[in-house]
Amino acid sequence: MTIENISCNKQFGGWHKQYTHQSDVLGCEMRFAIYLPPQIAMGEKVPVLYWLSGLTCTDENFMQKAGAQRIAAELGIAIVAPDTSPRGEGVADDPEGAYDFGLGAGFYVNATEAPWSRHYHMYDYVVNELPAIVEEHFPVNQERSISGHSMGGHGALMIALRNPARYHSASAFSPISNPSHCPWGQKAFTGYLGTDSNNWKQYDTTELIKQHQQAVPALVDQGDQDGFLEEQLKPEVLAAAAESVDYPLELRMQEGYDHSYYFIASFIEDHLRFHAQYLK
């Protein structure tokens, strides 16, 4: 598959680059960012951490605000950040322009309901198409971990649970832990997947963790001053589900922190070092 480089910046001895490509899975042009650590200059193939961002975000939010590249350069880990939804002319959007559905809000599912089913296959894009592109065009190996924030935290944990052979570890900041039972998730799942809530369970971390067959070690950080904590994120439900099946998930409540990238930047080093234990 052809990819086009649209930006390139040297950073901590490595390179931050943005690319566009035509996605067969999504039926539109997509953009992703990759940070390639300095170890590739010595001929090494490096492991990859996939980062999934939250509502309204693109590949740029994490790469510009999280401050992850310094530690990634030290550890020799590439970071890949896709967009959060399909985009472009002809791609459906929320008719009322809401931020929590449609463009920028793909929720990392494969939509089955029209008109969303034409383009909104973010699950297949993240799990299959994007890694195939990355592994074809860049000096990376097939060792992968996955992380994300909010909607992307939901995506990272859910994808790891459904694909334990593909990921060594998973982590999340402020994940939407039980989307079948919160307003953001219910709106998205109804629109993308239909009204039968049984079809939602395949994309719900809390439901998946209860029936897992193979565990992927997981780290979750949640700020206790997060404005979405009680209504949308529900970390206590995730913790209870993990405890009920003795799942290897560490949930840390961080005093005074909110839902912002100030929070992510404060603990991203912990997450990268957590993943490095398993990627190495």
CATH number reported for the structural domain that contains residue 12 in this entry: 3.40.50.1820
3 state SS of 151: helix
Q: What angle do CA 53, 219, 216 make, to 5 degrees?
A: 95
Beta-bridge partners for 33: 18, 81
Domain count, the chain: 1
Query: Which of the residues are catalytic?
Result: 150, 226, 259
- The predicted structure's pLDDT at residue 232: 98
For 61, the domain range is 3-278
- The predicted structure's pLDDT at residue 67: 98
Q: Using one digit for the tens of pLDDT, what is the confidence trace for 189-243?
A: 999 999 999 999 999 999 999 999 999 999 999 999 999 999 999 999 999 999 9
Continuous H helices in 47-202: 59-65, 69-75, 122-124, 130-137, 151-162, 183-193
Q: Report the amino acid identity of residue 107.
A: F
d(CA 100, CA 201): 20
Residue 121 belongs to what H/E stretch? Answer: none
pTM of the predicted model, to two decimals? 0.98
